[in-house]
Amino acid sequence: MADVTVICGSASDGPVAEKVFETLKEHGVDYDYKVISAHRDPERLDEYVKASTARVFIAIAGLSAALPGVIASKTKRPVIGVPVSGTLMGLDALLSIVQMPRGVPVACVGVDNGVNAALLAIRILEAGRA
């Protein structure tokens, strides 16, 4: 069972996810990886989040970047959003992730910053063990 689940909204987010994988591997953290769109496959996302035993979710998404917020609405576990650069250099995704409504908390790292997302997940895991 993985401690961290990394979910991308699209396979094109893979380069950012690779940074997450490398950092988690360096620190010996087990992870799962899925590509599930919050818009195109909401039922599959709902089923996956509910069935997951991960302690932290990292959601990587661009454009409207709804994925982190949708995941956070379905779990009480921590969710870290990673905005992906695109036509607006990631500003659209960044603003979507940081503007969550009350009761749907999502941590957000910088645009394309998969390394910081992994490091934050590791700190969350370590805090739970302290």
Would you say 40 is a known binding-site residue?
yes
Residues 76-117 pLDDT 10s: 999 999 999 987 999 999 999 999 999 999 999 999 999 999
For residue 123, say whether it is annotated as part of any ligand binding site. no
Cα–Cα distances in angstroms (integers) from residue 37 to residues 15, 48, 102, 103, 130, in the given order: 17, 12, 23, 22, 34
Closest residue by Cα to residue 10 from 48, 62, 78, 69:
62
pTM for the predicted model, two decimal places = 0.96
Does residue 128 surpass a pLDDT of 80? no
37 marked as part of a ligand binding site: no
Please write the tens of the pLDDT for every residue from 19-29. Answer: 999 999 999 99
pLDDT at 59 over 90: yes
pLDDT value of position 84: 97
What span, in angstroms and rounded, lies between the C-alpha atoms of 22 and 101?
32
Mean pLDDT of the residues in the chain: 95
Residues pairing with 4 in the sheet: 31, 56
